[in-house]
Amino acid sequence: MRVEIQIRTVAMDFWASLEHQIRYKKGLEEGQKISEGLKECADTIARTDLRMQELREMIKSPV
């Protein structure tokens, strides 16, 4: 049985939801700090996605 895990999709959906809340909530005291944290998370997710693609290619075409 083959399965696919979509970590990025769920994480990015959650990230977008939080970002939306930050943008449209007025008076959020820690908005900048939260935005920076979300950016760090997005960067981590992007790096993980690229690494997973590299590993997939290694599996598909072994040396």
Q: What residues are labeled active site?
A: 4
Nearest to 52 by CA among 2, 1, 5, 3: 5
d(CA 21, CA 16): 9
Q: Tell me which amino acid residue 40 is.
A: E
SS3 state at 8: helix
